[in-house]
Amino acid sequence: VIEGVVSGVTKFGVFIQFDDRFEGLAHISTLRKEESGNPKNHYKKGQTVKAVVKYIEPETRKISLSIKDVDYALEKMEMERYIVRDSEPELTTSPFQALRELVQK
């Protein structure tokens, strides 16, 4: 979960700038159900919002975000603090590892 600032609002979604170097798009389909319709009715430039990084396209530097998945992600993170894991760590690249790789380029 990242926290950022709304840098633009269009009829197809909300652009969010975070970490002073990145900007991603929360497409209208990834907004909360009660915020569907015209995003301009729910989001304003400069507003602070939380989002989940869903996908990063390294070649084009496009970052897909989701606002509707924030509550689930926060709950999952909280639950994982209390779960003891016996399995090996996953070998997949996390969105944050991909962001670090973009910064290094």
Beta strands in 11-61 (DSSP E): 13-18, 22-27, 48-57
Residues 55-64 have pLDDT tens digits of 999 888 899 9
Contact 66, 26 (CB under 8 A): yes
User: What was the pLDDT predicted at 14?
Assistant: 95
| Amino acid in the structure at residue 5 | V
Tokens 């633009």: give the residue: 8
How many whole angstroms separate alpha carbon 31 and alpha carbon 68?
5
The pTM of this model reads 0.71
Tens-digit pLDDT profile for residues 31-78: 987 776 789 999 999 999 999 999 999 888 899 999 888 877 777 777
Measured CA to CA, the distance from residue 53 to residue 70 in angstroms comes to 10
